Chain A
Amino acid sequence: MSSSDKSVQLAAGASAGPTAVGGGAVAVAAPPRAVRAKRKRRKGIGWPARLEIALMTGPTLLVFVSFVILPVAVAAFYGFFSWQGYGPPQDFVGFRNYVLIFQDATFIDALQHNAVIVVLSLVIQGPAAVLLALLLNRKMRGQTLIRVLVFVPYVISEVVVGTGWSLMLQGDGAVNALLGRLGLDWLRNDWLSDPGMAIWTLMGILTWKYIGFAVILFLAALQGIPDELTEAAAIDGASYWQIQRRVTLPLLGPTIRIWAFLSMIGALQLFDLVYIIWGQYVAATAGTSTMATYMVANGRIAGEYGYGNAVAVVLFLISLTAALVYQRFVLRRDTEGAITEART
């Protein structure tokens, strides 16, 4: 690569010569030529370029539109029908599916579980991840290894995590046995099926699985903070914690806000872990069902595809509203900054 770089530079250096000699019409040196080329590109593009654009974006657009945009449009359409999934939908029911959704206590429960999961994810994982990132940002031996190990649960599939944890958390599973051995019998619990406990179990597993992602994001941001800032604060007599609170945390702000956005959307869409650990029916009684598991149970498994699509639309609108509100009030200045930064 370095040799090709060099040849390009050589060519750029040499280009002034031939062009200047080149002829009366183009009797200008390199810089004006660049300007001219730019102007030409802006004015209009030739057929070869149009062909290139079509060839290189066409397949992407085709795949993207048919598997992302079309299904979402289709969902909005089918949501107005009572439809079992075969033949063209004919039984138009207007907004009845939507009315039914919001009259169904099971859905309202699921919605509440989602809300609890969103809030608890932010409240538990956020501060914990910031503290862990600060800890791992300190210079210590085995730093790289620790960072990698923290990230491991994030890399393992939800199915493996779900299968493993549900075996460990069974009434006669490893967690209760371990607590018994440590003499903590009063802590033994019906982790998965006790309705008062299950949502906390779920939060524990979610935190374990996803905190590594937050920690890595925050660590990356911490390393972007110039040492000079914290050093200056230290010279001014600030203690370690004062520096973290007054200097590091504000600079970590944009990353924390973007993480919170991703975490919020992820929590609203949560499906895999709940479905794997609690199955399609138990989730509702254990108090861990989410909008997505409700959608799958009452849509595809029940054979009511029209209804399932309506739930998908509701889930989408809720996520979209949350995303837009968050972007409007929290993220705006960050994205503005990111865009200007990316351009320079």
Chain B
Amino acid sequence: MATPAVAAHRPTRARRRLAWGSPSVYFVALLLIGVMLAPIVYIILGGFRTNAQITTDPAGWPKPWNVANYLDVLGGEVFWREVVNSTVVAGCTTAGVVALGLMTSFILARYRFRGRGAMYSLFAAGLMFPLTVAITPLYIVVRTIGLMNTLPGVILPQIAFAIPTTIIILVPFLRAIPDDIQEAASIDGCGRLGFFWRMVLPLSMPGVITVAILTFIASWNSYLLPLFILNREATFTLPLGVQAFASQYSVDTAKVLAFTSLSMVPALVFFSLFQRRIVGGLTGAVKG
């Protein structure tokens, strides 16, 4: 009985809301977008200007448009090498986090054994150890096992630090799969591992995708850990590259802006491809 009443209400309410002061709402929204995007637009447009233009009029429009900066960066080896490094690091980190996190969450969610609670608490306690706190000793650990200036030296710690969040997000997901399905699968001759591959993996996909996207973007943008571990330019990831480029060409502002704006393209593309998942995934994560 309640449902039709609500359904009947909705259209009128929507119309009322749209009518109520909507111009001011749009105005504030536009203002907001302007503030959020202006710095990004400045960086992109700045790449299309020349240094002379930037010096004479720092806040001006490109006139004439000049693509030399972008072509320079795209034609150089440095940018592409750093793109490859960043892709390898973010890709391996994401794959590692998903593989390890999913297996462990499956065990924690669906097996009963002594020490399960303790194990969950151990991982949950990891949330209390942010990377910033552990960075100095982490650097020493990585150096001791001989992974300095290597990409695995960044990948392994990143996986480790992403595991707590992953487990916190995935365990409720896996626990929510009804026992009946597992019973039915086992009657059907499906072992626990077969159940993992055939049922758990497909059913937990939304959670997995959320985790994967968040991990990928965090890894793509990470700065502190690569700053400590990667000292050779050949191993630089994009964030380190942007900073190195900015200090190397500190006089050539336009080129720095071109490099900077190119370096945000992959993250922006990735984000726009998956934005629905990210925004929706955060909802799921928060609701627990």
Partner-B contacts on A (CB < 8 A): 1, 4, 7-9, 11-12, 15, 19, 33-34, 37-38, 41-42, 45, 49-50, 52-53, 56-57, 59-61, 63-64, 66-72, 74-75, 78, 85, 132, 135-136, 138-140, 146-153, 155-161, 163-165, 167-168, 172-178, 181, 208, 212, 216-217, 219-221, 223-224, 227-228, 231, 240, 255, 258, 265, 269, 271-272, 276, 292, 295-296, 299-300, 305, 308-309, 311-312, 315-316, 319-320, 323, 338-339, 341-343
Contacts and interface: CB of A to CB of B under 8 A. Distances in A.
Given A153-B40, A216-B282, A158 B221 contact: yes
B92 interface: no
A67 B187 contact: no
A174 B59 contact: yes
A68 B162 CA distance: 10
Interface string B86-124: 000000000010001101101110011100000100110
A122 to B, nearest CB: 18
14 contacts: A1-B202, A61-B119, A72-B137, A74-B141, A140-B18, A146-B33, A149-B37, A159-B221, A167-B46, A181-B59, A216-B279, A240-B20, A312-B137, A341-B288
Nearest to B241: A159
Contact of A45 (B26, B113, B134, B163): B113
Given A152-B271, A181-B59, A342-B172, A315 B133 contact: yes
B22 interface: yes
A159 B43 contact: no
B184 A59 contact: no
A63 B286 contact: no
A312 B136 contact: yes
User: How many residues of B sit at the interface, in one of the four size bands?
Assistant: 35 or more
Nearest to B176: A342
A140 B161 CA distance: 40
Interface of B: 6, 9-10, 13-14, 17-18, 20, 22, 25-26, 28-29, 32-33, 35-37, 39-40, 42-43, 46, 55, 57-60, 96, 100-101, 103-104, 106-108, 111-113, 119, 122-123, 126, 128-130, 132-141, 156-157, 159-161, 163, 172, 175, 179-181, 183-188, 192-193, 198-199, 202, 217, 220-221, 223-224, 228, 238-240, 242-243, 246, 253, 256-257, 260, 263-264, 267-268, 271-272, 275, 278-279, 282-283, 286-288
A130 B26 CA distance: 17
Nearest to A344: B176
Contacts of B263: 157, 159-160
B39 A165 contact: yes
Given A151-B279, A167-B256, A71 B107 contact: no
A57 B107 contact: yes
Contact of B100 (A59, A153, A221, A300): A59
Nearest to B189: A11
Nearest to A224: B287
Contacts of A296: 135
A59 B156 CA distance: 11
B44 to A, nearest CB: 10
Contact of B161 (A67, A78, A150, A208): A67
A178 B17 contact: no
Contact of A72 (B129, B198, B272): B129
Given A66-B141, A135-B28, A160-B263, A227 B156 contact: no
Given A163-B256, A300-B228, A312-B137, A319 B239 contact: no
B32 A292 contact: no
Given A9-B184, A220-B286, A138 B136 contact: no
A1 B282 CA distance: 25
